[in-house]
Amino acid sequence: MADRAPSADPPTLAVTVRYFAAARAAAGLTEETLPMPAEFDAVGKPDAVTSVASVLAAVGERHPGLTAVLPRCSFLLDEIAVHGPATVVRDGQVLDVLPPFAGG
Along the 104 residues of the chain, how does pLDDT read in single tens digits? 444 554 556 678 999 999 999 999 999 999 999 999 877 666 666 666 889 999 999 999 999 999 999 999 999 999 999 999 999 999 999 999 999 986 54
Q: Is 72 a domain residue?
A: yes
Q: Is 1 a domain residue?
A: no
Q: Is 64 a domain residue?
A: yes
Q: What is the CATH number of the domain that holds 56?
A: 3.10.20.30
* Structural domain for 81, as ranges: 13-98
pLDDT confidence of residue 104: 47
Residue 45 and residue 57: Cα distance in Å, rounded?
A: 23
Residue 95 and residue 73: Cα distance in Å, rounded?
A: 12
Q: State the total domains in the chain.
A: 1
Residue 77 and residue 58: Cα distance in Å, rounded?
A: 16
Q: Name which of 62, 80, 66 is nearest 19 in CA terms.
A: 66
Q: Is 6 a domain residue?
A: no
pLDDT confidence of residue 2: 47
3-state helix, strand, coil in the chain (%, to 5): 25, 35, 40
The residues, ordered by sequence, that sit 6+ positions from 96 with a Cβ below 8 Å of its Cβ are 17, 18, 20, 75, 76, 77, 79
Q: Is 69 a domain residue?
A: yes
